[in-house]
Amino acid sequence: MPSDLDDVERFTEEFLKRLQFGQGVALPRATKNDLYYALARTVRQQLMARWLETVQRQMQAKAKVVVYLSAEYLLGRQLDNALLASGLTDTAEAAIDGLGLDMQTIRDTEVEPGLGNGGLGRLAACFIDSLATLRIPAIGYGIRYEYGIFRQTFEDGHQVEQPDSWLTLGSPWEFPHPEMGVKVPFAGHTEKYLGEDGRERTRWVNDWEVIGVPYNYMVPGYRTGNVNTLRLWSARATQAFDLHVFNNGDYLQAVRSQAFAENISKVLYPEDSTPQGKELRLQQQYFFVACSLRDFLTNVMGPGFDPRKLPERVIFQLNDTHPVIAIPELMRILVDEKDIPWDEALDICRQCFAYTCHTLLPEALEVWPVELLGRLLPRHLEIIFRINDDFLAELREAYPDDELRVRSMSIIQEHPERAVRMAYLATVVGAKVNGVAELHSQLLRDKVLSDFSAYWPDKFTNVTNGITPRRFIGLANPALTELITDTIGDGWLRDLGRLVELEPHADDPAFLDAFAAIKVGNRKRLAGLLERRDGIVLPQDAMYDVMVKRLHEYKRQTLKLLHIVTLYQRLQENPDLDIVPRVFLFGAKAAPGYWIAKQTIALINAVGRVIDNDPIVAGRLKVAFPANYNVTLAETLIPAADLSEQISLAGKEASGTGNMKLALNGALTIGTLDGANVEILQAVGEENFFLFGLTEPQVHAIYESGYQPREYFQNNPELRKALGAIASGAFSDGNREAFAPIVDSLLHEDRFLALADYQSYIEAQDRVDLAYRDTRAWNRSAVLNVARSGFFSSDRSIQDYLDRIWNASPVDAS
Ligand SMILES: *Cc1c(COP(=O)(O)O)cnc(C)c1O
């Protein structure tokens, strides 16, 4: 992409101008934040012309637009990504250097927008990156939370949550448009009336409303000159809202009302894999969906747009059930506002929506009580009931003698309370339903939504998740990026399948040495960061064994912990035992209300402390748990990993994407046959992957036959010893109560079969220990992991969505 800031002198000049006229300071008096803002604005300006041009071009082409609706975007830092996309990284570094400033300090000034919880939000961020890179006309819609995912700290090893005030110093990447505010009605009632043509209509008379103010963000494609838009909504009180109360003379109440309205976009729910059935959350969902649909219909499609043409012009992709309320909202607009007959409107909706399911855990499927939905969105509830009535009538014709089946497929659940099953609503109306990895999609078809897949076999499809190589190797691992470019040439960052060209080099000793040296360098970089950030000192000469992901029972951090305790006990018993030194790195936030997950964090830290203080294991085992795992930390942590822990119980992890990031950076996986692990294993080959554990059908069989975790405990001496030590207070100064709930939960229920998989896991870890000793063979496997990870680019995921679901195509530069 040609760039007019391409030379260092011009860049420097522009930067100083931004500092002087944008921040109003001269260089000698500039703070870190001034410098960051000036640099951000310099790059931003470079992208803006492209942005306006892209929007213009896409409008004119009247092409089909992909509208990605997601309540979360876990974006990561923007500065480096903007530099990379516009090809200005080297120029900027030289310019900053030339001024005697430190680029890293400027980078570290940026607080990442943590507008998501974990995998689901990060997926949305990867997808908008790929959509822009592939030049697809697309827009992402979401919520501009004032507080994103909490900042995690530890006190005495226990998680403490701090508010994430990422906006304290402002953000140079957002463009607010208060003049484009959208009104969002809530509550009230509906009433019937006769239209001029004598037809009966319904209108929604709402009780209160808020304004959604759009904030635009640029989404630069990687060196394509294409810049798409991410539009996040922020809630404001309406003037009428205030005025009404002001006129009653109650100033304090007026201010409170304003605070009430603005609460809607105040904070991200820090839940992952379990929905929060809270009223405010439903308000958030409707708020951003209503703003987005209104904005799309009036501003993106333009005035005079005929909504009957919607199926040619748009596909709304629903990222999980959070935005599913968009379905009745579009029905309401079409029927109540645009006067389109019900059946025709439903036909339009059936072509415009597609739904991505992200889970298999029944407790994670979102339902909204009928009472709550009816109170907050009375018209939407009516519409949902009518969609359901139509659907059940259709089913009764298909299955005249099977009322049981018909009822089990109802969008409305009756027990334990009457509630709307949002996943069913999305499945009934959506044109397509996709899972996020082959195994997950198959289990959706065969189990979670089996009645629906029997009724509509063609509706179901798979799109295996992916990650953007720009961030997760280009930015995260510059040394490996350079080695790869030196080896196979340029262009692979947007054609990741080309990594296979590295395969022949897996047997080239010089290449392997270079590869190994990069790992060493990345370990050093991580050690430096953790020492500065957390005061953690990491031994360098060790295997880096990494488990980074949200803390959840199904992900089985406790199984990892049992392995660590087992190794520790082996060393205590036999101090001369020859084991490969390991650093165990954890990164994990627990939902603030998820008590057992928070206990698990405390236990990891407690085990780490005991191991740290034991001279027997010094230099051989180390547990490091840096607080606040986020995208920024991931970018330094993942390239340093040797071993990737992907040990969820088979059939529980929908896909995982951390597994892909680690494989792409040359970590070998130890994992179960779960989620995308299955496809990683297929891609990299059995000999380059440490497989263990029960398969999904075996898990099913164990559940069916009545699982007895205690039997595994009693029959396995090492397991008995490890769990026994935790129970006896060995990691809690003799306090047997401290971790009793974790021990009891494992012994009595063990919902996720950690004890059943323990022996298999330990044996696989012993194979890891052996394999690591053969450095050459290990590095060869690591290189093959990199070479064979091309499939896991989110560019490939997006291409699959285009082919299987969206039926949209790129709009090229003229
Ligand atoms: C990729 C990513 C995740 C998802 O990790 P999984 O191992 O797939 O659960 C979560 N958090 C952050 C910060 C990530 O970058």
Calculate how far, in angstroms, residue 203's C-alpha sits from the geometric centre of ligand 1: 44
Calculate how far, in angstroms, residue 768's C-alpha sits from the geometric centre of ligand 1: 23
Give pLDDT tens digits for 73-124: 999 999 999 999 999 999 999 999 999 999 999 999 999 999 999 999 999 9
676 CB near ligand 1 (under 6 Å):
no
Q: Which of 273, 548, 797 has most ligand 1 atoms within 8 Å of CB, for mutation?
A: 548
Which residues make beta-bridge pairs with 614? none
35 CB near ligand 1 (under 6 Å):
no
Instruction: For residues 243-263, give the mean pLDDT.
Output: 76
Q: Identify the pLDDT of residue 243.
A: 62
Longest dimension (CA), the chain: 92
Q: What are phi and psi of 356, to 5 degrees?
A: -105, 120
Contact between 584 and 545 under an 8 Å Cβ cutoff? The reply is yes
State the Rg of the chain over Cα: 27
Q: Identify the pLDDT of residue 810.
A: 85
Give pLDDT tens digits for 158-216: 999 999 999 999 999 999 999 999 999 999 999 999 988 888 999 999 999 999 999 99
675 CB near ligand 1 (under 6 Å):
no
Give pLDDT tens digits for 608-630: 999 999 999 999 999 999 999 99
Task: For residue 784, give the amino acid letter.
Answer: L
Which residues make beta-bridge pairs with 200? 194
Nearest CA to ligand 1 atom 4: 119
Calculate how far, in angstroms, residue 606's C-alpha sits from the geometric centre of ligand 1: 24
Percent of the chain with pLDDT over 70: 98
Q: 515-536: string of b/e by CB count within 10 Å (b at 16+)?
A: bbebbebbbebbbebbeeeeeb
Calculate how far, in angstroms, residue 684's C-alpha sits from the geometric centre of ligand 1: 21
Q: Identify the pLDDT of residue 659.
A: 98
Would you tell me how many other CB atoms lie within 10 Å of the CB of residue 604?
24
Q: Identify the pLDDT of residue 814.
A: 44
Instruction: For residues 690-698, give the mean pLDDT.
Output: 98
Nearest CA to ligand 1 atom 7: 658
551 CB near ligand 1 (under 6 Å):
no
Q: Which domains does the chain show, CATH number per domain?
A: 539-774 (3.40.50.2000)
Tokens standing for residue 464:
């295996």
Task: For residue 810, give the amino acid letter.
Answer: P
> Any alpha helices (H) in 222-272, and if so which ranges?
239-247, 251-262
Among candidate residues 469, 656, 436, the one with its CA nearest the CA of residue 547? 656
Give pLDDT tens digits for 109-120: 999 999 999 999
Nearest CA to ligand 1 atom 6: 658
Contact between 233 and 144 under an 8 Å Cβ cutoff? The reply is yes
Q: Identify the pLDDT of residue 242.
A: 61
Q: Which of 74, 633, 672, 679 has most ligand 1 atoms within 8 Å of CB, for mutation?
A: 74
Ligand 1 atom, smallest distance to 657 CA: 8
Ligand 1 atom, smallest distance to 646 CA: 7
Question: What distances in angstroms separate CA 71 from CA 112, 142, 302, 613, 788, one per listed residue?
Answer: 17, 5, 25, 44, 32
Q: For 697, which DSSP code?
A: H
632 CB near ligand 1 (under 6 Å):
no
Q: Identify the pLDDT of residue 108.
A: 96
The residues assigned a catalytic role are 358, 549-550, 555, 657, 661
Nearest CA to ligand 1 atom 11: 118
Contact between 144 and 115 under an 8 Å Cβ cutoff? The reply is yes
549 CB near ligand 1 (under 6 Å):
yes
Calculate how far, in angstroms, residue 628's C-alpha sits from the geometric centre of ligand 1: 12
Give pLDDT tens digits for 527-543: 999 999 999 999 999 99
Q: For 814, which DSSP code?
A: -
Assessment of whether the complete model's pTM goes beyond 0.95:
yes
Ligand 1 atom, smallest distance to 119 CA: 4
Strands (E), 298-429: 314-319, 353-356, 367-369, 412-413, 419-421
Nearest CA to ligand 1 atom 10: 118
587 CB near ligand 1 (under 6 Å):
no
The band of 240, judged by pLDDT with boundaries at 50, 70 and 90, is low
Nearest CA to ligand 1 atom 15: 631
- Asked if the model's pLDDT at residue 2 lies above 60, the reply is no
CA separation for the pair 172, 266 (Å, rounded): 20
Q: For 272, which DSSP code?
A: S
In the block, which residue shows the tokens 């990494």?
546
Ligand 1 atom, smallest distance to 655 CA: 8
